[in-house]
Chain A
Amino acid sequence: MENALLVGLSRQVTLRRELDVIANNLANLGTSGFKGENVLFEQFLASGAREDNFESPLDRQIAFVIDRETRTDLSQGAFEQTGSALDVAIDGEGFFVIETPQGDRYTRAGGFSINATGELVTAAGYRVLGEAGPIVVDPNDTNIAIARDGTISTPAGERGKIRLVRFENPSQLTKFGDNLFSSETPPNPIDPRTRVVQGSIEKSNVRPILEIGRMIEVTRAYTTLANLMSRSDELRQAAIERLAEVPA
């Protein structure tokens, strides 16, 4: 009898987590370079009781549900033209390499700026790495141009090339916050077909309609389960009352 309650509860716990993930996706609707997430569920089989306690072979296993993983959707987000010379979007697979105090991190958010010493940095102030260390422009440089392969040049000459990397297995990337990803395995050089676009920013790839749809589904499933659970509770209550009735 409790099984219906517990199975329902296992689903409710995962639904709440799914709503948390949807909330995070929707909160980051305007975050450049953000990649949305999906929760994947799996069946978790547990026997109702130890099999050897029972003689009957008909003892059925009960399927609970658990959330196994959040999978990051690494698909390309839409490009928004900003007109700012230091905004760079990656067209294709790949990541920028960012130097943080915790080590190298990777990002698709290309809204860069130049700091007081002329280094190319992210909005949080971390240095953007080039093929040969941080990219530094001269204080007198104007008209910074970023070529399709990431080479940064000014009328006075080349200033470096933005390092782009890709991962053999992008699903092992974990989100670090601050639009950054961290990786346990070292990155590989990118496919030469990957291009960068100056003056554009890659928007979040969260699709609001999909998220709202998922959200409605989650709330409805949750309410249905809540109803189901109270029904089974009523059933049990009725059973106890009826069975306990002593015929006069």
Chain B
Amino acid sequence: MRALYTAATGMMAQELNVEVISNNIANMRTTGFKRQRAEFQDLLYQSLRRVGTVTSDQGTRLPVGLDIGAGVKVVGTPRIMTQGNVLQTEKQLDVAIRGEGLFRIQMPDGRIAYTRAGSFEIDAEGRLVTPEGFVVDPVITIPQDAASITINQQGVVQVQQTGQTAPTELGQLQLARFVNKSGLEPIGDNLFLETASSGAPQPGNPGTDGIGTLLQGHLEQANVNPVTEVSDLIAAQRAYSMNARVITAADEMLQATAQMLR
């Protein structure tokens, strides 16, 4: 019975769908998280009667064929890169991006990773780092005697040093953008890597060339909408049980066949 295997593909696809949805819900409060969606496609079809086959000497043709599909597959889990809500935190090293672009982060192994999560800290050497201690690129070193740090919309970092009236400019935060930001590879820790399908990063200062602006003292929330996730979860669960019912139905039919022989 082909129906058994077809329904099994449906169950597997819905299982993966539930996994994707549960990951979205689990990361509902993750800074800079972008939700994913499972994208399905139908599998190949078996033509039992091909459309357009000549059916008589008069040249009449079959208007419609008899095609039986083999189920469903998951083609990908594209990331929806829409802007998340911006939440005020009043922490001076929290930076949210409004618009396009990602922060560049130097990984310990020398690679460059990208992130939307702008909750930065200062390490022992005064450098701006992520909560894991990875250095933000370009490196910004904050002097020991800095009283207050200001990051403006264009990414210019300034400090007020004790005993001085004029602020000192420390450097410029840069962002990178990608033509296909959904094609970035997630590596966990809110970080992404460049891939062959994301395109090359195009660095630039915030507020220029279509890159978004920065907002100090704020963090970008996950773009997960709990209501849609929960309704998607219900739909996925129901689809799963319906496919399970098909297996039961196929089983009943096989049983009826088996009982014909007595």
Contact = CB atoms under 8 A, between A and B. Distances in A.
B223 to A, nearest CB: 8
Contacts of A142: 99-100, 210
Q: Which of A12, A20, A141 has the most CB of B within 10 A?
A: A20
Given A20-B6, A82-B37, A28 B14 contact: no
Contact of B69 (A24, A116, A222, A233): A24
Nearest to B62: A69
Interface stretch (B43-51, B117-125, B185-193): B43-51
Interface stretch (A52-60, A88-96, A158-166, A172-180): A172-180
Nearest to A21: B68
Contact of B72 (A28, A114, A215): A28
A169 B240 CA distance: 34
B110 interface: no
A223 B248 CA distance: 13
B245 A174 contact: no
Interface stretch (A31-39, A186-194, A239-247): A31-39
A71 B47 CA distance: 13
A65 interface: no
Given A179-B41, A226-B257, A23 B71 contact: yes
Interface stretch (A43-51, A117-125, A127-135, A145-153): A117-125
Interface in B206-262: 209-210, 235-236, 238-239, 242-243, 245-246, 249-250, 252-253, 256-257, 259-260, 262
Contact of A69 (B49, B100, B198): B49
A97 interface: no
Contacts of B42: 24, 28, 31, 34, 175, 177-179
Interface in A200-248: 208, 211-212, 215-216, 218-219, 222-223, 226-227, 229-230, 233
Q: Which of B76, B239, B242 has the most CB of A within 10 A?
A: B242
Interface stretch (B126-134, B158-166, B175-183): B175-183
A240 to B, nearest CB: 15
B146 interface: no
Contacts of B209: 140
B14 A30 contact: yes
A178 B74 CA distance: 10
A19 interface: yes
B199 A118 contact: yes
Size band of the interface chain B makes with A? 35 or more
A100 interface: no
A1 interface: no
Interface in A59-91: 67-71, 82-85
Given A19-B250, A175-B42, A31 B72 contact: yes
A223 to B, nearest CB: 4
B253 A139 contact: no
Contacts of B177: 139-140
Given A26-B243, A175-B69, A215-B245, A223 B252 contact: yes
Interface string B16-52: 0100000000000000000001111111110111011
A227 B257 CA distance: 9
Interface residues of A, number: 69
Given A23-B10, A24-B69, A172-B52, A123 B39 contact: yes
Contacts of A117: 179, 199
Contacts of A171: 63-64
B75 interface: yes
B105 interface: no
Interface in A4-41: 12, 15-17, 19-24, 26-32, 34, 37, 39-40
Nearest to B243: A26
A222 B245 CA distance: 16
Top 10 A-B residue pairs of the complex, sorted by shortest distance between their CB atoms: A27-B10, A24-B69, A23-B6, A23-B3, A226-B256, A116-B199, A31-B40, A69-B64, A139-B179, A177-B44
10 contacts: A22-B246, A23-B10, A28-B10, A30-B38, A30-B236, A70-B68, A114-B180, A175-B45, A175-B67, A184-B51
Given A68-B49, A118-B180, A177-B41, 18 more contacts: A20-B2, A23-B4, A24-B68, A28-B40, A29-B242, A32-B40, A70-B65, A83-B80, A84-B80, A111-B39, A140-B210, A175-B42, A179-B41, A184-B52, A208-B242, A215-B245, A219-B249, A223-B256
